[in-house]
Amino acid sequence: MPLIRVSDQVHEHLKHLTRESDLSVDAVLRDALDITGAQKARNYTAREELMPLEIYRWLILSAFPSGASSDSDRMAPMTRLPLQVHLSTSLDRWGFNNLFPTDFTYTAHAKARRMRWKMRFNNVFREMIKSKVLIAQGTKGKISSDEQYLMADGIQNDFLRIGLHLDTAKGDWWFTKLPESVNLNNWGTCNPITVDDERHTPISVVTDDYAEWLDRASFIWGRQKYENLKDLSGIVPPSDWVGPGGHWPATITNSGIQGPPYSWGIPQDNIPADPLA
C-alpha cells in the first residue's frame, strides 16, 4: 500500500472524521472524493447526535451482574457475542432508539453497510480490553470469538453502585448512585436502570462526594473525558444556581453537564467555561 504524506492539519481532520463517522480513513476519503459515484459528499454525523460512549460501556458491563445467578458470589466470564446480544436487548428494552435514533441508522459505506450501534460496540469493546476494563480469561493474546472476558476485579464493586437514568421528556440521561445495600445477588432488583421515574440520587457536581463518585466511575467515562470532568470538582456553584430537582448544574450527561443554566435566566458572564466544550 503506498504511503501518502499529508500536513498535520489534514491528518488531525481525518482522525476527527473517522472518530465521528465510525468509518475508516479510506472510506472517509472515498466519500469526500466521490470515488464511489455519490452525487455529493456525505454529511457526517455530529457527536451530539450519537449515544455517548460511556452509555455503551455501562450497558456492556451490566451484562455481567445481569447474567449472574441469584446465589452466586462472583460474576461469570462471557465471550464477545453474549455481550453484544445483551447490549442489543438493552437498547430495545429501554427505548434508546428514541433518545439516540442516529445509532440505529446504517453507515454510508457502499460495500459494507452496517448498523451504526454494532460498529460502535466493536470499537468500545476493543477499547475496554485495551484499557483493561475487560480482562481476557484465556492466553490467546488477541481478540477472538471464543475468548472469554470478565470485568476487572478492581472495578466490580464500584460498578454495582452506579446506575443509569433516562429522561425521555428532556431527551437526556445521567448516572445515579445505587443504595449501599446493593450486591451481586440483588443488583437486578435495585432498579439499576430507570426511565423517567427517577429512584436514585444523581451523581452531581454540586454534592460534596462528587470527586469520590467520579473516581468510582472513571472506568466508564474513559481517560480523556474523566480528566475533563475532574476539573468540575473544584467549581463551587453560586447559591442561586439551582436548577430543576435542586442540583446545579444537575448532573454529568452526554453534553457534559445537564440543564444548561442559560435556560434559567443566569447571566452568561457569570457562567464558568465548560471544560468539555
Express each pLDDT in 124-156 by its tens digit.
999 999 999 999 987 655 667 788 999 999 899
CA distance 97 to 100: 5
CA distance 186 to 180: 11
- Inform me whether the pLDDT recorded for 158 exceeds 90: yes
CA distance 255 to 220: 16
- Inform me whether the pLDDT recorded for 258 exceeds 70: no
**pLDDT reported for residue 244:** 40
Structural domain boundaries of the chain? 9-44, 45-270
Q: What are phi and psi of 123, to 5 degrees?
A: -65, -45
The pTM for the full model equals 0.70
Average pLDDT for residues 178-190, to the nearest whole number? 92
Q: What are phi and psi of 177, to 5 degrees?
A: -100, 115
Beta bridge partners of 67: none
- Which region, left, alpha or beta, applies to residue 209 given φ > 0 means left and ψ of -120 to 50 means alpha? alpha
Average pLDDT for residues 27-31, to the nearest whole number? 68
Express each pLDDT in 226-255 by its tens digit.
777 776 655 544 444 444 433 334 344 444
**pLDDT reported for residue 12:** 75
